[in-house]
Amino acid sequence: MSKKYLELEPEKILSVKDLEVKFYTYAGVVHAVSGVSFDVYENEVVALVGETGCGKTVTTRAITRLIYPPGHIARGQAIFRRRNGTVIDLLSISEKELRDIRGNEIAYIFQDPTSALNPLFTAGEHIVETIVAHSSTNRKLARNEAIRLLKQVLIPHPSLRVKTYPHELSGGMRQRVVIATAIANKPRLLIADEPTTNLDVTVQAQILDLLSELKKQYSMSIILITHNLGIVAEIADRVYVMYAGKIVESANVFELFEKPMHPYTRGLLHALPDPVRRIEKLEYIPGTVPSLINPPPGCRFHPRCKFAKRVCREEPPMVEVEPGHYVACWLYAKR
């Protein structure tokens, strides 16, 4: 129970182990996340890729226990190194200690910037609130800091924009305010949940540039959740591919795009229309994502997999096929 059992390699900042989240709904128990483990190293962008409902958002929300009934974290550990060097399990510390970490050492950026901002607060007030909540600075200093932050996220005329309300800002500007709020306390870990999904391509490119710039400046780690493999290719260092509540493959980004191994990853990559080449027909994955109330036994992808064998009805182990390239598939595992 005590903290002395917790260990974390020095270069890691977060290590999630065997996380399991369930939702108790009328229709039955939804196994949203089943046994997910992943690591985040210092100063890296980790991408969590998967389709709608694969559990990527739930996973990252569970890290700081932002799961509300009917949701329930059934099992797992999220070992995190705090700024002061202590190693803790985010899933077992007190709610008070956790509040101290949320928005301070671990910050979130959510998909929809419109609903992430309170319409009654100005852009500046959002940032000031976050700073004041986690430090003893006075509001005036915090306000100056807010202007500096808005400048940093490339908002023109920051000293004027601190006073504007969210509805006066465009979608891209709002997302910049959200980002400024998230980095206000110089977090060690930034969790960006589909940060550009609601934005236009030109604005999306701007925001992605901004995120990688901020990562360097603040030397923080970023967990990027997305369904868009193009975005992953643009800024991620390492990638975890999720399918139906489980991680099926993880690798360095170059390795993954060059040598995808899991049939699902391959299908996903081939299903994308490539803007550079001329293609007559897209390859696609037949069928649809399974219900997580009664997930298929064993490998959850096997009902849609063209390589499925009898053995796939058993749980495939996660094997390291090449250094740093892990895959959970019977094609690569020895029985």
Partner 1 sequence: MMAEVIYRGFCIIIDTIAKLMDKIRPGWSDRNSSRISEWKLMAYAYSRSAIGIVGGVLVSIFVIIGIIGPYIAFERYNEFPASVNPDLYFLRPCIPPWCDPWSENLPLLGTDNWGRDILSLVLHGARISLVISLIVVALGVPLGIILGLLAGYFGGAVDEVMMRITDVFIAFPALILAIAFATVLPSRFREVLYTNVFTREFFLSLFALSKEEIPQLASLLAVIFALVLVWWPGYARIIRGSVLSVKEQAFVEAARSLGLSTWRVLFRHILPNVLSPVIVMVTFDLGTATLLAAALSFLGIGPQDPVPELGFLVSKGREYFPDKWWIVMFPGIALFIIALGWNLLGDSLRDVLDPKTRRSLEFKVKGKKQRKFKSVKRK
Partner 2 sequence: MSLIRVENVKKYFKVRGSLFKKVKAVDGVTFMIKEAETFGVVGETGCGKSTLGRVILRLLKPTAGKVYFMNKDVLKLSGENLKKFRRMAQMVFQDPHSSLNPRMTILEIILEPLKEHGIVVDDPEKYITEHLEIVGLGREHLYRYPHELSGGQKQRVAILRALILRPKFIVLDEPTSALDVSVQAQILNLLKDLQKKFKASYMFISHDLAVVKFMSNRIAVMYLGKFVEIANADELFEKPLHPYAQVLLAAIPIPNPKIARERKKIRIVGEPPSPINPPPGCRFHPRCPYVMDICKREEPPMVEVEPGHYVACWLYARR
Is residue 203 at the binding interface for partner 2, with CB under 8 A as the rule?
yes
Binding mask 271-310 for partner 2 (x = CB under 8 A): xxxxxx-xx-xxxxxx-xx---------------------
- State the angle between helix axes of 139-152 and 123-134 in degrees (0 to 180), rounded to the nearest 10: 120
Is residue 233 at the binding interface for partner 2, with CB under 8 A as the rule?
yes
- Footprint on this chain of partner 1 (rule: CB under 8 A): 1, 17-18, 24-27, 29, 65, 69-70, 72-77, 89, 91-92
67 Cβ contact partners less than 8 Å away, ≥ 6 residues apart: 21, 58, 61, 73
Kindly state the tokens that stand for 303. Answer: 């009902």
The nearest distance, CB 24 to partner 1, in angstroms, is 4
DSSP, collapsed to helix, strand or coil, labels residue 13 as strand
Q: Which does 279 bind (CB under 5 to 8 A by kind): partner 2, partner 1, none?
A: partner 2
Is residue 322 at the binding interface for partner 2, with CB under 8 A as the rule?
no
- Return the residue of 100, 227, 266, 315 that touches partner 2, per CB under 8 A: 227
The nearest distance, CB 305 to partner 2, in angstroms, is 12
Q: Which does 324 bind (CB under 5 to 8 A by kind): partner 2, partner 1, none?
A: none
Among the listed ranges 4-12, 28-36, 80-88, 249-257, the one in contact with partner 2 (CB under 8 A) is: 249-257
Q: How far apart are CA 19 and CA 126, in angstroms?
A: 32
The residue whose two tokens read 């036994």 is 297
Q: How far apart are CA 47 and CA 231, in angstroms?
A: 9
Q: How far apart are CA 66 and CA 214, in angstroms?
A: 25
Q: How many residues bind partner 2 (CB under 8 A)?
A: 47
The nearest distance, CB 169 to partner 2, in angstroms, is 10
Kindly state the tokens that stand for 186. Answer: 């110089």
Q: How far apart are CA 137 and CA 48, in angstroms?
A: 35
Q: How far apart are CA 240 and CA 48, in angstroms?
A: 5
The nearest distance, CB 23 to partner 1, in angstroms, is 9
